[in-house]
């Protein structure tokens, strides 16, 4: 159940990010099971948090304030049980995922590069890598 909830949260985040940036790209979800380790990868083309200045690189130090401001203003219309419902992004998805999984890695992709830091290239989307090791539980 932990893996299912974490996967659901990761995919919901990717769908919301892609929908909010009007991306028509496919969200890619892959998993791998090896012995007692389960790995899940979710790649999306969501634009992420919009920057106030396109000339300034989005680094961790300036990104935290952008996240706070962005979350306060953000309300998305998403489909739930066949109906369009307004959804306030509370920013708890990654916290839930981190509590459920043994390892959570966020990477950014764009301009032919993949990195854990989104400084230095135009971000086209993200890759979320989750790992659950049954041997630890």
pLDDT for the residue 35: 94
pLDDT tens for each residue of 31-67: 999 999 999 999 998 755 443 444 444 565 565 666 5
pLDDT tens for each residue of 59-116: 655 656 665 666 566 666 777 778 887 766 656 788 889 999 999 999 989 888 888 8
Answer positive or negative: Cα dihedral of 24, 92, 8, 126: positive
Q: Which domain covers residue 97, as residue numbers?
A: 2-136
For position 90, which CATH number holds?
3.30.565
Tokens of 63: 């990104």
Say what the alpha-carbon torsion angle 54, 57, 58, 62 is, to the nearest 10 degrees. Answer: -100
Q: Provide the domain count of the chain.
A: 1
């Amino acid at each position: 159940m932990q893996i299912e909830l974490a996967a659901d949260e990761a995919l919901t985040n990717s769908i919301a990010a892609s929908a909010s940036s009007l991306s028509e790209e496919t969200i890619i979800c892959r998993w791998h099971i090896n012995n007692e380790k389960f790995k899940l990868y979710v790649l999306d083309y969501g634009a992420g948090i919009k920057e106030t200045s396109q000339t300034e690189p989005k680094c961790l130090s300036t990104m935290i304030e952008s996240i706070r401001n962005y979350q306060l203003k953000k309300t998305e219309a998403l489909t739930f049980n066949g109906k369009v419902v307004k959804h306030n992004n509370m920013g708890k998805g990654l916290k839930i995922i981190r509590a459920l999984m043994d390892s959570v890695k966020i990477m950014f992709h764009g301009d032919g590069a993949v990195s854990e830091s989104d400084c230095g290239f135009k971000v086209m989307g993200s890759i979320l890598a989750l790992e659950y090791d049954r041997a630890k539980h």
